[in-house]
Amino acid sequence: MAAVGAVGAGWFITIEGPEGAGKTTQTQRLGRRAAAAGLEVVVTREPGGTTVGERVREMLLDAASTHGPRADALLFNAARAELVESVIRPALARGALVVSTRFADSTLAYQGFGAGLDLDELRALERFATAGIVPDLTILLDLPAEVGLARKDFERTRFESAFGLDFHRRVCDGFRALAAADPVRFAVIDARATAAEVESAVTAAASRLTGLGLLQPGDASSEPERLAQRIPR
Ligand code: TMP
């Protein structure tokens, strides 16, 4: 059983990636599988997942908001602090599996690599907000910025509409750099594969972490082990 920031006996999995990568779908599917295997599962998202977090989310994603990246970093971390304290930490202490769509790596990718804020300062902010909780496994659903943005052509939030393609390319590169720097925590999956194939690969990575056989015989054949590569050291 994985040690999670020294809290309890649960597992903390985050699903990260650029716009349009299918993170929400995969979070929900993994949650359903783990629940079917008998685990207590807590599925959540960032920003959001708490009353205050959902209110902060509205401000952050409102296309009419004009504040800058430092305010963004603080607001995302305010929502994060509340999510960790009121949802994630108690769930891990109970032994649950927590699956979150986005977490702290999104701040490094968007406000750091994308908007140019200092990564070490953002990491210090993250440590304060999370009180040291780090995911056991981060699944990066990787795909080119333009492919993801095209998938979301009709429902764009502030980040998708007000920030250009270059910004989103830096975000994608940032996620890849974060994964390459921490190959033990990250599994990188090519999100251009079908949803079923990506699901198999996500499931394979979660099975490795938990030691539970979450893959079923009828799963998309693919080669989940090939798709869900941990980046070689
Ligand atoms: P989403 O729920 O559609 O992914 O929207 C969240 C948006 O907020 C997305 O564009 C990524 C962005 N974001 C950041 O810029 N920094 C963060 O720390 C987080 C969690 C999200």
For the chain, list the domains and their CATH numbers. Answer: 11-229 (3.40.50.300)
Distance 46 CA to ligand 1 centre (A): 7
What pLDDT, on the 0 to 100 scale, is given for residue 218? 78
Residue 64 confidence (pLDDT) above 70: yes
Positive or negative torsion for Cα 34, 47, 75, 85:
negative
Specify the pTM: 0.92
User: What is the C-alpha radius of gyration for the chain, rounded to an integer number of angstroms?
Assistant: 17
| pLDDT tens-digit series, residues 99-138 | 999 999 999 999 999 999 999 999 999 999 999 999 999 9
Instruction: List the beta bridge partners of residue 42.
Output: 98
Residue 63 confidence (pLDDT) above 60: yes
Distance 106 CA to ligand 1 centre (A): 7
Residue 46 confidence (pLDDT) above 70: yes
Residue 187 confidence (pLDDT) above 80: yes
Across 51-177, where does the E strand assignment appear? 97-101, 137-142
Distance 159 CA to ligand 1 centre (A): 7
What pLDDT, on the 0 to 100 scale, is given for residue 224? 62
What pLDDT, on the 0 to 100 scale, is given for residue 128? 98
Using CA atoms, how far residue 53 sits from 75, 86, 160, in Å, is 9, 11, 20
What pLDDT, on the 0 to 100 scale, is given for residue 204? 95
Residues having CB closer than 6 A to ligand 1 are: 19, 46-47, 61, 76, 102, 106-107, 110-111, 157, 159-160
Going by alpha carbons, the residue nearest to atom 6 of ligand 1 is: 47
Distance 221 CA to ligand 1 centre (A): 31
Cβ contacts of 30 within 8 Å, gap of 6 or more: 13, 15, 99, 199, 202, 203, 206, 214
User: Cα–Cα distance between 173 and 113 in angstroms, integer?
Assistant: 8
Residue 7 confidence (pLDDT) above 60: no
Instruction: List the beta bridge partners of residue 41.
Output: 97
User: Cα–Cα distance between 121 and 127 in angstroms, integer?
Assistant: 10
More confident residue, 161 or 167: 167
Distance 217 CA to ligand 1 centre (A): 35
The mean pLDDT value for 208-215 works out to: 87
Going by alpha carbons, the residue nearest to atom 7 of ligand 1 is: 159
